[in-house]
Amino acid sequence: MNHAVRPTANEPRTTRAADGMERRAFTVEEVEAMVAAGIVGADERFELIGGEMVPMSPKGTLHEWVKRKLNRHFQIEAGPAFDVLVETTVRLDAQSFLEPDFCVVRSTAAPAPVAASDLFLAVEVAASSLAYDLGRKIGLYAAFGVPEVWVVDAATLVTRIHRRLGAEGYADVRDLGPAERLVPVRVPALAVTLAELGLTPALETDREAAP
């Protein structure tokens, strides 16, 4: 019926209060203006999903561990032709930007914004945000033409690889375990086997927030 719905905390930073209602959409420019005006803190980390600011969840230790190992591997193997960018902002359109854990682009000499079409591979390491990374966000990567996306489950070390992008999304989606070799189609030099990086799946009891 009509339950009282007063928000509890003094100033919650996130909300789903208006779920299911049409909400005011913000453009990238408007969000930048909010930061410039000091309304949104320059240190706030979020992605812009279809005009909505979605804060990025604090990263757990599992997530950081996997990221650290992957980062070392990628930076060593990348060679001069490619840059592997860590947590860079990828602009999708006027109302969306994402911040994948890694994205692989052609090496550039000069600073330039990263567009989705520049990406050869995007890698998300997912822990608490597993459901999100596998769902709506994959749809965004597909919609904006990122040819290959990996989502690494930090707990199980199973990687879901999305390839063969077509009008319907990724036609080829497969899960590979920690002992299997992951080979990026456009950047085979970055191929990796998670188990060989010294990573081991977390015990069931250590896992953070199962989806």
* Interacting residues toward a second copy by CB under 8 A: 1-7, 10-25, 27, 29-30, 33-34, 37-40, 44, 46, 49-55, 57, 94-95, 132, 136
CB of 47 to a second copy, least distance (A): 9
3-class DSSP state for residue 204? helix
Of residues 6 and 198, the one with the C-beta less far from a second copy? 6
Q: What is the closest distance, in whole angstroms, from the C-beta atom of residue 133 to a second copy in the complex?
A: 11
- In three-state secondary structure terms, 193 is strand
Of 131 and 185, which has the nearer Cβ to a second copy? 131
Per-residue tokens: 66: 């996997």
Q: 139 vs 145, which CB is nearer to a second copy? A: 139
Q: What is the closest distance, in whole angstroms, from the C-beta atom of residue 127 to a second copy in the complex? A: 15
CB of 39 to a second copy, least distance (A): 5
Q: Are 91 and 120 in contact (CB under 8 A)?
A: no
- Here the tokens at position 190 are 């970055």
Q: Which two tokens stand for residue 130?
A: 């597993």
Among 100, 87, 196, 206, residue whose Cα is nearest residue 155: 206
Angle at 191 between CA 189 and CA 192, to 5 degrees: 140
CB-nearer residue toward a second copy: 21 or 112: 21
For tokens 């990628």, the residue is 74
Rounded Cα–Cα distance for residues 192 and 184 (Å): 9
Closer to a second copy by CB, 57 or 193: give it: 57
We find the least distance from the C-beta atom of residue 1 to a second copy, in angstroms, to be 6
